[in-house]
């Protein structure tokens, strides 16, 4: 059996204004630290980035993100198709769709309402405009990755063969209902993407499933957490998240 490892990083919070030099120092030292620590592991086969890549969802911030990730994967001997990304609350541009956010926060109070709006392509597109900077970057950076995306585009599944081990990587968007500093227990993934991605996992021939979202599942709204725990969690061997800025 092959042995392998992967790298999880999260919450880079990169800004494009005023702090470029200090950020570069931190990121440079992070890459050096990873290079040193990786000597004790099997080959790092892929990288997962669990959200908050930028600090405010601005396109210019993702240029810094792109440069950092390119430096990181070059050191690891990997390519862009070895990087799997999900958005976080700081990947939302809060200057876009403020009224949309407040309406979302008010309306997403039960599973039925979440389904009503997320199943409507026009409403979903309006909501996702707040993630435009992230989405454009993610589409560009992940262009070479073959993946299965749910019909609503809110979750994806990647089938990957690492040595002789078939694995699945699942990315979820937990940033949909975010937009202020009161997100705890207000976060939503949605029944539809969770149920649909579970069906995709069931049809996949994999021996290890890694689920990724930005927020801890305990931050989901109660009805959303119930679906997550009852349906999605049993399908996964590992769950990765970020947000709390702690290991």
Domain assignment present for 109: yes
Domain assignment present for 246: no
Name the band, by pLDDT with cuts 50, 70 and 90, for residue 17. low
Neighbours of 55 (CB within 10 A): 19
pLDDT for res 224: 96
Name the band, by pLDDT with cuts 50, 70 and 90, for residue 181. confident
Q: Is 66's pLDDT higher than 60? A: yes
Domain assignment present for 154: yes
Q: Model's pTM, two decimal places? A: 0.93
Decide the pairing of beta strands 44-50 and 5-9.
Answer: parallel
Average pLDDT over residues 37-64: 90
pLDDT in tens, 98-154: 999 999 999 999 999 999 999 999 999 999 999 999 999 999 999 989 999 999 999
Domain assignment present for 108: yes
The residue to which tokens 């050096």 are assigned: 32
Domain assignment present for 247: no
For the chain, the domain total comes to: 1
pLDDT for res 30: 85
Q: Which residue has the higher pLDDT, 9 or 245?
A: 9
Domain assignment present for 99: yes
The parent domain of residue 157 ranges over 5-240
The CATH number given to whatever domain includes residue 83 is: 3.60.21.10
Name the band, by pLDDT with cuts 50, 70 and 90, for residue 4. confident
Name the band, by pLDDT with cuts 50, 70 and 90, for residue 234. very high
pLDDT in tens, 26-44: 788 888 888 888 877 768 9
Domain assignment present for 201: yes
What are the residues whose beta carbons fall under 8 Å from the beta carbon of 142, sequence distance 6 or more? 80, 81, 83, 84, 85
Mean pLDDT over all residues of the chain? 92
Domain assignment present for 52: yes
Name the band, by pLDDT with cuts 50, 70 and 90, for residue 247. low
Q: Which residue has the higher pLDDT, 181 or 115?
A: 115
pLDDT for res 98: 92
pLDDT for res 41: 73
Is residue 79 within 8 A of residue 73, CB to CB? The reply is yes
**Distance from the Cα of residue 191 to its chain's centroid:** 17
Stretch among 24-33, 120-129, 193-202, 238-247 having the lowest mean pLDDT:
24-33
């Amino acid at each position: 059996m092959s042995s392998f490892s992967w790298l999880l990083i999260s919450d880079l919070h990169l800004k494009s204004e005023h702090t470029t030099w200090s950020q570069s120092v931190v990121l440079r030292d992070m890459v050096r630290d990873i290079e040193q620590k990786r000597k004790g592991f099997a080959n790092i086969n892929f990288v997962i980035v669990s959200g908050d890549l930028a600090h405010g969802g601005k396109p210019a911030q993702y240029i810094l993100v792109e440069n950092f990730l390119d430096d990181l994967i070059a050191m690891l001997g990997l390519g862009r198709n070895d990087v799997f990304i999900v958005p976080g609350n700081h990947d939302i541009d809060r200057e876009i769709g403020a009224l949309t956010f407040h309406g979302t926060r008010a309306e997403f109070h039960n599973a039925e309402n979440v389904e009503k709006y997320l199943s409507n392509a026009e409403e979903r597109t309006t909501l996702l405009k707040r993630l435009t900077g992230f989405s454009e970057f993610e589409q560009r950076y992940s262009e070479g990755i073959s993946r299965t995306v749910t019909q609503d585009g809110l979750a994806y599944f990647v089938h990957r063969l690492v040595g002789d081990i078939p694995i699945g990587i699942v990315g979820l968007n937990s940033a949909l209902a975010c937009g202020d500093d009161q997100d705890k227990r207000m976060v939503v993934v949605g029944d539809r993407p969770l149920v649909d991605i579970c069906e995709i996992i069931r049809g996949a021939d994999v021996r290890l499933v890694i689920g990724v979202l930005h927020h801890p599942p305990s931050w989901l709204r109660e009805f959303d957490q119930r679906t997550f725990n009852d349906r999605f969690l049993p399908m996964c061997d590992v769950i990765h998240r970020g947000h709390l800025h702690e290991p």
